[in-house]
Structure 1
Amino acid sequence: MTHKPRRSRSKPSDAVRGVDRLVRNVETGRFERSLSALTAVGAVVTAGEIYFEHDKASFGNPWMWAPVILGPIGAVAGVAGVFSKTAAKTVLPIAAATIVANGLQGTWLHARGVAQKPGGWRNLRYNLEMGPPLLAPLLVTLVGGMGLLAAVLRREK
């Protein structure tokens, strides 16, 4: 009977080490501050993009200003959450929940806009391409979701 030589254990890949580090950061509470900062950056980027897209539509509906105004509020709340545990547990979740609600409202308004185009939902492909971007408001909802997640995570001591 011949014996097979044992394989030596290989070192974990960079990806595995990265996942392990992320899990450790979540467990120790370090990730909460990082996610607060990411919320701040995401809020600024999405508010800027929304501003340009809604400006192309001449801000035809007053609600188009809501995500533009909420972007800087989310950014300030996210930065405050980086530096203050109190802000991360109070101001950030309020701002983030408002952003999520506005993103869901925007999805409904964009769906209504697609339906109001000539042909409505029957002419779906054309109206999705030429009408308001149906899924774009969900991107700002993700930014708000990051803020909500940051608010419920443990903070490092």
Structure 2
Amino acid sequence: MAATSGSAAVSAPALHGIDRMVRNIETGRFERSLSALTAVGAVVTATEIFFEHDSASFGNKLMWLPVAMGPIGAAAGIAGAVNHRMAKTFLPIASLTIIANGLQGTYLHARGIGQKPGGWRNARYNMEMGPPLLAPLLVTMVGGMGLLAAILRREK
């Protein structure tokens, strides 16, 4: 490429496909994609939680809360992927709610392990046979993805 008027004007090649996606991530432009991933993660996680809590017969009414948060997270993720304003308003509110619910679930699962015979003195057995201690943190990660999406810039 020839330089004009003593300047080294170099035009960047057009980016397509994976190169464009990588460039957007490198420059912090990942809002739409991460919003969509949040929607998918919310649906998958809520479905798994439904089956796990159903096998426990929804013994505590709070078990319905993360199941109900799934469609809300999915709607917020889709809205954030489609609309920039929703990505900056509805998505972070829904994501913070999901994070709070995940932390609450971690507490409740830890309490449930402590209530099993032998409690935390029999931690290994009770963690395997009781409520999964780290599972609610997966919900927290989905909320974290949505919160991160709200902070990032929109793709070009």
- TM-score calculated relative to the size of structure 1: 0.84
Q: CA deviation at 1:50?
A: 0.1
Corresponding residue number in structure 2 for 1:110: 109
Cα–Cα, structure 1 residues 28 and 64, in superposed 2: closer, same or farther, change >3 Å?
closer
Corresponding residue number in structure 2 for 1:125: 124
> What is the alpha-carbon distance in structure 2 between the residues aligned to residue 28 and residue 143 of structure 1?
19
Q: CA deviation at 1:37?
A: 0.4
In structure 1, give the amino acid aligned to 2:125: Y
Q: CA deviation at 1:65?
A: 0.4
> What is the alpha-carbon distance in structure 1 between the residues aligned to residue 96 and residue 141 of structure 2?
11
Aligned length: 138
Corresponding residue number in structure 2 for 1:56: 55
- What is the 5 A alignment of 1:28-67? 29=29, 31-67=30-66
In structure 1, give the amino acid aligned to 2:81: V
CA contact (8 A) 2:109 2:132 kept: yes
> What is the alpha-carbon distance in structure 1 between the residues aligned to residue 28 and residue 153 of structure 2?
7
> Residues 35-60 of structure 1: CA distance to partner in whole angstroms, max 9, x if unpaired?
00000000000000000000011111
Could you say what secondary structure the match of 2:155 adopts? coil
Corresponding residue number in structure 2 for 1:82: 81
Q: CA deviation at 1:155?
A: 1.3
Q: Is residue 148 of structure 1 aligned with residue 147 of structure 2?
A: yes
- TM-score calculated relative to the size of structure 2: 0.85
> Residues 60-87 of structure 1: CA distance to partner in whole angstroms, max 9, x if unpaired?
1111000000000000000000110010
> What is the alpha-carbon distance in structure 1 between the residues aligned to residue 108 and residue 143 of structure 2?
18
Cα–Cα, structure 1 residues 152 and 114, in superposed 2: closer, same or farther, change >3 Å?
same
In structure 1, give the amino acid aligned to 2:42: A
Corresponding residue number in structure 2 for 1:137: 136
Runs of 4+ in 1 over 4 A off after TM superposition: 18-21
In structure 1, give the amino acid aligned to 2:40: V
CA RMSD across the alignment: 1.5
Corresponding residue number in structure 2 for 1:70: 69
Corresponding residue number in structure 2 for 1:9: none
What is the aligned-residue identity percentage? 74
Q: CA deviation at 1:156?
A: 3.1
In structure 1, give the amino acid aligned to 2:48: E
CA contact (8 A) 2:36 2:77 kept: yes
Corresponding residue number in structure 1 for 2:14: none
In structure 2, give the amino acid aligned to 1:41: V
